[in-house]
Structure 1
Amino acid sequence: MKPIIVAIDDRLANPGDTLSLAGHLDEESYALGEHEFCLPHGIEYDLVLTNAGEGILVTGILKTCAVGECDRCLAPASMDIAAEVDEYYLFEEPEHPADDEDEADYSLVSSDKTIDLAGALLPSLVMETPFVVLCKPDCKGLCPVCGANLNEEDCGHAAQVNRTRSEERLDSNPFSVLAGLTFDDEKNSEESVEDSAEEGAEDSTKESVEGRDSDSKR
């Protein structure tokens, strides 16, 4: 980010003095991890600098429109970002600095009595940028078979992919082998049904034979 140099002059000479700054920064892009974001309209900022006695407290807000690449479909993803700015610039290094660098949440006023506000704006912008970038919350992504953008067309592979995934989940399930097992109660029940059916068939056959014998005797 380009430097935004502000002189700490008579306007901020005494504790309690404030200075309002608002403007536009023609920043073109910034990065977050592997993502690169374009800033087609730059950055608007509205800040207040306050002499807090031991340093200059910078508070305010910045606004911008960032354009990145959707993590699912790779299409451009635009987002409006509004970030709060809160940075402290000490006049001198503290007598007892924090051992942990992460706890040392301050910068220093330079020897020429200036501060660079870019050091306050960029971290605030990064903090409000989503780590997972989506063109829309319900983005369907790309087809893993043919690479088609599923937001724009239905290539017909979705059902095939879902079926394959279901089969893979079933195969990887350690309890899937139980699907082919027959419990004793079920087995006995099935055998009982089969026996009943066989007995019924035998009784029916016996009755039929007895009926024919009776008719022949008559």
Structure 2
Amino acid sequence: MKINLKQIFNIVGEKKDFSYEIAPEEFGDIKGFSFGSDVSLSGKLYNRAGVVYLDYTAVFKLLHTCDRCLKEFSREYDLSFDHIVVPSVSNDDNDDYIVADGESIELNEVALNDILLSLPTKVLCREDCKGLCMVCGCDLNESQCDHLN
């Protein structure tokens, strides 16, 4: 969703609320991630004292494979993000702000980047997952084998 920020940049106190869904198909080409639901975004853009802020939450479900026992499971996420949005920056080496290209931002792209950077690198089906036996491959969460002794 492309949001035009011209009015928000120019008027102190101006505010724009948003709430919409992104279909999982829009994120389908991201290797290693499978969205199990729409990504629900809701938040606001506002100008406080001449500085434009973006605050929003992303609610979604991801389908995972446990890194220890290889079971498939789904997990819900409710993540919050906040950014400062600027019309331009003087150098290209900038990770502190979102730069509005032509006084607008592509919110889907911002949200996708935020989501991917916030997800854990190691995903377990449960905190105490025992994994698989290194000898016979049985799931140690469901049964015991003689190889552990």
TM class by smaller structure:
0.7 to 0.9
Q: Summarize the alignment of residues 2-21 of structure 1 with structure 2, pairs less than 5 Å apart.
A: 4-10=1-7, 13-21=10-18
Determine whether 1:149 maps to 2:142: no
Q: CA deviation at 1:109?
A: 1.5
Equivalent of 1:134 in 112, 124, 139: 124
- In the alignment, is residue 40 of structure 1 matched against residue 33 of structure 2? no
Cα drift, residue 54 of structure 1: 5.3
1:117 pairs with one of 107, 110, 122? 107
Matches within 5 A, 1:51-130: 51-52=47-48, 56-94=52-90, 97=91, 101=93, 104-111=95-102, 113-130=103-120
C-alpha deviation, 1:136, in angstroms: 0.8
Deviation digits for residues 162-188 of structure 1, max 9, x if unmatched? xxxxxxxxxxxxxxxxxxxxxxxxxxx
Structure holding more strand per residue: 2
Distance 1:12 1:61 in 2: 22
* Structure with the bigger percentage of helix: 1
Q: CA deviation digits over 1:25-50, x for unaligned, max 9?
A: 11345799xx7121111211111011
Q: What is the Cα deviation at residue 88 of structure 1?
A: 2.3
Tell me if 1:25 matches 2:22: yes
- CA shift at 1:23, angstroms? 1.0
Q: Is the 8 A contact 1:84 1:124 kept in 2?
A: no
Distance 1:47 1:26, change over 3 A: same
Q: Determine the C-alpha separation between the residues in 2 that align with 1:143 and 1:31.
A: 33
TM-score normalized with structure 1 length: 0.59
The answer to which structure, 1 or 2, has the higher relative contact order (CA under 8 A, 6+ apart) is: 2
| Equivalent pair of 2:8/2:52 in contact (CA under 8 Å) | no
The Cα shift of 1:55 comes to 5.5
| Uncovered stretches (5+) of structure 1, i.e. residues with no partner | 160-218
- Deviation, structure 1 residue 63: 1.0
Once the two structures are aligned, what percentage of the paired residues are identical?
Answer: 24
C-alpha distance in 2 between matches for 1:136 and 1:72: 10
Write the letter of the residue equivalent to 2:59: K
8 A contact 1:55–1:91 mirrored in 2:
no
Provide the C-alpha distance between the structure 1 equivalents of 2:95 and 2:69, rounded to a whole number of angstroms. 40
Counterparts of 1:11 and 1:117 in 2: how far apart (Å)? 15
Q: Distance in 2 between matches of 1:26 and 1:76?
A: 21
3-state SS, counterpart of residue 44 of structure 1: strand
Q: For the pair shown, which has the larger CA radius of gyration, 1 or 2?
A: 1
Size of the alignment, in residue pairs?
A: 148
CA deviation string 1:139-175 (max 9, x = no partner)? 111111111112222233222xxxxxxxxxxxxxxxx
